[in-house]
């Protein structure tokens, strides 16, 4: 920026920006603080909360009482599983559309996107009944399948926009040197595509981890990931703020960290390349 910025102006903007940033982040910060308090202290007035003793007891209780680790593991399996399965299906498709575009490529891409616009509640009943009949209700396999399918259009689109940016000449050079289609894919394209694939993976793990329509409707106690497990805190008995905070902190921490690394890709992935 060429314009000279006075320090005074910069100071004012700094104060305003930090104030807004902290205000927006505050609910998360407060949850983390409460997770290190005892149940009795967690419901006191803010000043009393801050001056009370710090403790890890809620983290221990959450695990003991509800087998937290299992739900966490379910979330890991479901989000990683659906992302990997999605990649396996999407990489060849995106590769083909980016490097061997045909007349229909654009239509296929747009059609894939249109499946994403289908409101989930519109197909809730049939999916629920099919899952009930084939025994997929409350299984990790069932959720992996559903989340793979709902995120597949985003995976294909993101990979497609990244693959488009790989210069075609490199592939042609490889072809001239006699590389087979398979070798071209493995030795030339894949290394160049790794950054794009990595961002796609990151965004999709985030989306799958936080998905809260299908996970709530298709699971009960057994396969429930964290989204559904945390929902069970909506009708609690007695004091539970500290435990809710501890469970929540553990549920959002990994994704928050991943999300911060994928800010840029987030824009691109969620706007289907419309904003870069």
> CA-to-CA distance for 128 and 182, rounded, in angstroms?
40
Please pick, from the candidates 144, 154, 188, 252, the single residue that binds another protein as defined by CB under 8 A: 252
CA angle 56-60-66, nearest 5°? 145
Report yes or no: 124 and 217 within 8 Å, Cβ to Cβ: yes
* 226 closest CA partner among 213, 215, 242: 215
Stretch that binds another protein, among 60-68, 76-84, 126-134, 187-195 (CB under 8 A): 126-134
Q: Which of 22-30, 54-62, 135-143, 189-197 is the region at the interface with another protein (rule: CB under 8 A)?
A: 22-30
Applying CB under 8 A, which part among 55-63, 65-73, 135-143, 230-238 lies near another protein? 230-238
Q: Please identify which residue in 60, 67, 69, 114 interacts with another protein, judged by CB under 8 A.
A: 114
- 141 is a contact residue toward another protein (CB under 8 A): no
Judged by CB under 8 A, does residue 221 bind another protein? Answer: no
Indicate the residue among 56 and 111 with the shorter CB distance to another protein: 111
Distance CA 35, CA 245 (A): 5
SS3 readout for 39-54: HHHHCCCHHHHHHCCC
CA distance 260 to 255: 8
Q: Which of 50, 60, 110, 221 binds another protein (CB under 8 A)?
A: 110
CA angle at 153 for the pair 253 and 266, rounded to the nearest 5°: 40
> To which H or E segment does residue 197 belong?
helix 190-210
- Which of 126, 178 has the CB closer to another protein? 126
166 binds another protein (CB under 8 A): no
Span interacting with another protein, options 51-59, 60-68, 133-141, 228-236, rule CB under 8 A: 228-236
Q: Choose between 69 and 130: whose C-beta lies nearer to another protein.
A: 130
* 3-class DSSP state of 36: coil
In sequence order, the 6+-apart residues with CB closer than 8 A to the CB of 257 are none
- Find the part of the chain contacting another protein (CB under 8 A) among 52-60, 134-142, 190-198, 253-261: 253-261
Q: Which two tokens stand for residue 135?
A: 């025994």
Q: How far is CA 267 from CA 155, 193, 253, in A?
A: 14, 19, 21
Binding mask 182-211 toward another protein (x if CB under 8 A, else -) reads ------------------------x--xx-
Contacts of another protein in 49-88 (CB under 8 A) = none
| Of the candidates 150, 165, 147, the residue with the CA atom closest to the CA atom of residue 112 | 150
If you compute the radius of gyration of the chain from its CA atoms, what whole number of angstroms results? 23
Q: At closest approach, how far in Å is the CB of 87 from another protein?
A: 11
The verdict on 173 binding another protein (CB under 8 A) reads no
Is 134 a residue that touches another protein (CB under 8 A)?
no
Say whether residue 255 binds another protein (CB under 8 A). yes
């Amino acid at each position: 920026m060429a314009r000279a910025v006075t320090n005074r102006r910069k100071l004012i903007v700094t104060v305003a920006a930090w104030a807004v940033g902290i205000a927006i982040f505050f609910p998360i910060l407060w949850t983390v603080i409460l997770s290190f308090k005892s149940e009795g202290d967690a419901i006191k007035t803010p000043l009393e909360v801050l001056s009370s003793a710090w403790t890890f007891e809620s983290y221990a209780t959450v695990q003991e009482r509800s087998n937290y680790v299992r739900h966490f593991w379910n979330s890991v399996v479901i989000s990683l599983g659906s992302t990997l399965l999605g990649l396996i299906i999407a990489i060849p498709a995106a590769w083909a559309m980016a490097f061997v575009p045909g007349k229909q490529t654009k239509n296929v891409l747009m059609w894939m996107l249109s499946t994403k616009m289908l409101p989930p509640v519109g197909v809730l009943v049939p999916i629920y009944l099919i899952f009930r009949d084939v025994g997929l209700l409350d299984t990790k396999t069932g959720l992996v399948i559903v989340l793979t399918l709902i995120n597949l259009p985003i995976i294909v689109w993101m990979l497609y926009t990244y693959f488009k940016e790989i210069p075609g000449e490199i592939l042609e050079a490889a072809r001239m040197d006699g590389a087979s289609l398979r070798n071209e894919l493995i030795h030339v394209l894949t290394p160049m595509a790794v950054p794009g694939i990595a961002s796609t993976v990151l965004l999709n793990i985030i989306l799958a981890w936080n998905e809260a329509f299908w996970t709530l409707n298709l699971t009960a106690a057994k396969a429930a990931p964290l989204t559904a497990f945390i929902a069970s805190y909506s009708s609690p008995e007695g004091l539970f703020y500290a435990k809710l905070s501890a469970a929540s902190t553990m549920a959002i921490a990994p994704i928050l960290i991943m999300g911060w690394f994928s800010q840029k890709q987030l824009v691109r992935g969620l706007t289907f390349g419309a904003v870069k």
